[in-house]
Amino acid sequence: MDDWYIMNPSKEELFDLLDHIHQIAEEYGIHINKKKTRIVKISSTYKILQIKYSLTDSGKVIKRINPKRVTTMRRKLKKLAVKVKNEEITYENVENMFRGWMGSFYKLLSKEQRKNLIGLYEDLFEKSITIISKRMIITDKIK
């Protein structure tokens, strides 16, 4: 894993620690991208591993998926629907991919994002999706 974060109440200590990390990385021949390495105030919204984190006034951390990931998935589903129709790939592969993606990001999606993604999937592949006990049941649409 090459993405990580460190939390500390002292900004000065973080800058000092970052300098030490750069020295150690240099000794081992590891390149640290200075454009991507930053120190941010935890009260501001920040993104790591495609998840947006924000802190409420009460101290609760809110995790949300980066909206660009949802847009990318919608585009991908549309392209895959064409490939399934042209028999370039099997529907089962698409279903497995969608189940895995939804399983990974389900809790990070808003209810509206979930509803819209599931609706798009149902329309593209003529399926019906039901969530029962945290399991996604995909069946053929009844016409």
Tell me which residue of 71, 72, 69, 89 sits closest to 80, measured CA to CA.
89
Residues in the chain: 143
**Is the predicted pLDDT of residue 4 greater than 90, yes or no?**
no
For 100-124, how does the pLDDT look when each residue is reduced to its tens digit (9 = 90+)?
Answer: 999 999 999 999 999 999 999 999 9
Q: Which residues contact 37 (CB under 8 A, 6 or more apart)?
A: 18
Tell me which residue of 64, 132, 124, 70 sits closest to 95, measured CA to CA.
124
Say if CB 73 and CB 65 are below 8 A apart. no
Q: Which is more confidently placed, 117 or 141? A: 117
pLDDT computed for residue 38 by the predictor: 82
Helical spans, DSSP H, in 2-110: 11-28, 67-85, 91-105
Per-domain boundaries in the chain: 11-64, 67-140
For 19-60, how does the pLDDT look when each residue is reduced to its tens digit (9 = 90+)?
Answer: 999 999 999 999 988 888 888 887 778 888 888 888 888 888
For 66-78, how does the pLDDT look when each residue is reduced to its tens digit (9 = 90+)?
Answer: 899 999 999 999 9
pLDDT computed for residue 34 by the predictor: 85
Terminal C-alpha separation, the chain: 47
